[in-house]
Amino acid sequence: SQTIHQWPATLVQPVGSPLSLECTVEGTSNPNLYWYRQAAGRGLQLLFYSVGIGQISSEVPQNLSASRPQDRQFILSSKKLLLSDSGFYLCAWSVDYPHPYEQYFGPGTRLTVT
Q: What is d(CA 51, CA 111) in angstroms, rounded to the nearest whole number?
A: 26
Q: Considering CB under 8 A, how many residues would be counted as binding other proteins? A: 29
Say if CB 32 and CB 95 are below 8 A apart. Answer: yes
Do 53 and 68 contact (CB within 8 A), yes or no?
yes
When binding is defined by CB under 8 A, the residue of 43, 54, 69, 98 that contacts other proteins is 43
The answer to whether 105 contacts other proteins (rule: CB under 8 A) is yes
**Contact flag: residue 40 with other proteins (CB under 8 A):** no
Residue 26 engages other proteins in binding (rule: CB under 8 A)? no
Q: Could you say which of 13, 22, 28, 46 contacts other proteins (CB under 8 A)?
A: 46
Q: Please compute, for residue 112, the number of CA atoms within 13 A of its CA located in the half-sphere on the CB side.
A: 5
- Report yes or no: 102 and 76 within 8 Å, Cβ to Cβ: no
What is the binding site for other proteins (CB under 8 A)? 32, 34, 41-46, 49-52, 57, 59, 88, 90, 92, 94, 96, 100-108, 110
